[in-house]
């Protein structure tokens, strides 16, 4: 980065720091070659495949229209849909047993290994006072772990962990950046959502 | 898809995130690789999409390496919020600007870069980074404090 002894406004100084920075000709050529080598999308080559796609599209369109007519609810954004799924899972958990009973994440971990990610310890909170166990569930059709906790007051609190995909889940607060969890209420259930270490994490409780 | 100037803008942004030239180049390359893996036919601003991809990739990698920890709320609730006008009044020399960039966290360097080089407003940065505007304003306050502390600290002999 360039150097100078002149005093100047901070903004100008920062601009100067970056002004001379650029990729080398070789790096640029490599990146452009990479971009130029982008594979073209595959084309349908057989009549059968085209026909199957048409049948599927018509079926999907019919299903969507049927659902829309049956449920004229406004379109929800991804965090709202997460909250809806989490709230449904939370309500259902009152009537369902845990797939695995355990009082530590370490004990639960092997049972959930097929989800393809490591369960993470939640932040310390009086809401998540005592772990009771966990079960499999899904959030936005992505397989997820539901962990059952009791709060210090004895209320059931559920915590969810699933792989985070911004395309699916939308932009969510990042714990690593100190951002406060997103708080949404769905079906009377308070849902807090954030991302942490590559996972989308949510808690659900009925009492706050 | 992207011309030289756009790739260099992506590189400078990566440099702001990583603070290291080699890491910045690696990050651009990773971003481009991910870009190519996705269907970008409907993406209207490929550079913005690339920068966003790089940002997510970088912070995900940091998290995996556990180089950043969650300190709940970053104690931002008790930090006064200042807008960028408070930074515009500051005057520094090149060495102080460089030392400031080195001592900042990646998210803070990103904030400084987006404001000074890309000309973003606090609202636009909040949108780009997916955080509340208040969080950005509080980070500005902390950054200003750090710079003032750096300027008043006694010079260290080489």
pLDDT band per the 50, 70, 90 thresholds, residue A41: very low
- At B4-23, the pLDDT tens digits run 999 999 999 999 999 999 99
pLDDT band per the 50, 70, 90 thresholds, residue B36: confident
Closest of A156, A183, A141 to residue A90, by C-alpha? A156
Chain A to chain B, count of Cβ pairs less than 8 Å apart? 143
- At B104-148, the pLDDT tens digits run 888 889 999 999 999 999 888 888 888 888 888 888 888 888 888
Element (H, E) at B34: helix B21-37
Asked whether the beta carbons of residue A31 and residue B12 sit closer than 8 angstroms, the reply is no
Q: What is the mean pLDDT of residues A63-76?
A: 57
pLDDT at A1 over 90: no
Nearest CB partner across the interface for A15, out of B11, B90, B117: B117
pLDDT at B74 over 60: no
pLDDT band per the 50, 70, 90 thresholds, residue B73: very low
Asked whether the beta carbons of residue B7 and residue A23 sit closer than 8 angstroms, the reply is yes
For residue B157, give how far its alpha carbon lies from the nearest alpha carbon of chain A (Å). 17
Average pLDDT, chain B: 82
pLDDT for residue A101 = 85
Task: Kindly provide the ipTM of the predicted complex, given to two decimals.
Answer: 0.85
Query: d(Cα A115, Cα A164) in Å, to the nearest integer?
Result: 13
pLDDT band per the 50, 70, 90 thresholds, residue A67: low
pLDDT band per the 50, 70, 90 thresholds, residue B71: very low
pLDDT band per the 50, 70, 90 thresholds, residue A4: very low
Q: Suggest the residue from B7, B17, B21 to mutate for an interface test with chain A (most A CBs closer than 10 A).
A: B7
Query: d(Cα A90, Cα A173) in Å, to the nearest integer?
Result: 21
pLDDT at A61 over 50: yes
Q: pTM surpassing 0.90?
A: no
Query: Which residues of chain B lie closer than 8 angstroms to A6, CB-CB?
Result: 93-94
pLDDT at B75 over 70: no
Can you state the percent helix, strand and coil of chain B, rounding each to 5?
70, 0, 30
Give the residue with greater pLDDT, A124 vs B69.
A124
Query: d(Cα B36, Cα A5) in Å, to the nearest integer?
Result: 43
Query: d(Cα A17, Cα A2) in Å, to the nearest integer?
Result: 6
- At A72-115, the pLDDT tens digits run 445 678 888 899 899 888 888 877 777 888 889 998 888 888 88
Query: Which residues of chain A lie closer than 8 angstroms to B33, CB-CB?
Result: 34
């Amino acid at each position: 980065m360039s150097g100078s002894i002149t005093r100047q406004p901070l903004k100008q100084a920062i601009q100067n720091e970056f002004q001379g920075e650029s990729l080398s000709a070789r790096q640029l050529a490599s990146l452009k070659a990479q971009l130029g080598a982008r594979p073209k999308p595959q084309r349908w080559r057989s009549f059968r495949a085209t026909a199957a796609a048409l049948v599927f599209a018509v079926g999907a369109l019919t299903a969507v229209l049927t659902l829309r007519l049956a449920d004229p609810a406004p379109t929800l954004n991804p965090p709202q849909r997460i909250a809806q799924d989490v709230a449904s899972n939370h309500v259902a958990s009152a009537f369902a047993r845990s797939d695995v009973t355990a009082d530590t994440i370490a004990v639960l971990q092997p049972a959930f290994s097929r989800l393809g990610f490591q369960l993470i310890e939640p932040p310390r909170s009086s809401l998540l006072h005592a772990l009771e166990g966990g079960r499999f569930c899904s959030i936005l059709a992505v397989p997820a772990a539901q962990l059952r906790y009791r709060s210090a007051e004895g209320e059931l609190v559920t915590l969810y962990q699933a792989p985070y995909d911004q395309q699916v889940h939308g932009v969510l607060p990042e714990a690593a950046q100190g951002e406060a969890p997103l708080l949404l209420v769905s079906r009377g259930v308070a849902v807090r959502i954030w991302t942490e270490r590559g996972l989308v994490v949510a808690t659900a409780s009925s009492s706050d | 898809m992207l011309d030289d100037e756009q790739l260099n803008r992506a590189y400078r942004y990566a440099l702001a995130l990583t603070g290291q030239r080699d890491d910045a180049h690696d990050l651009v390359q990773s971003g481009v690789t991910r870009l190519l893996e996705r269907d970008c036919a409907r993406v209207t601003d490929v550079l913005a999409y690339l920068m966003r991809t790089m940002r997510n990739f970088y912070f995900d990698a940091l998290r995996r390496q556990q180089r950043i920890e969650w300190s709940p709320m970053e104690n931002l609730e008790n930090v006064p919020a200042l807008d960028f006008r408070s930074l515009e009044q500051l005057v520094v020399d090149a060495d102080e600007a460089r030392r400031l960039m080195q001592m900042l966290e990646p998210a803070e360097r990103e904030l400084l870069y987006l404001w000074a080089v890309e000309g973003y407003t606090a609202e636009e940065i909040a949108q780009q980074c997916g955080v509340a505007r208040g969080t950005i304003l509080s980070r500005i306050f902390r950054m200003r404090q750090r710079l003032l502390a750096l300027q008043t600290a006694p010079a260290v002999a080489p």
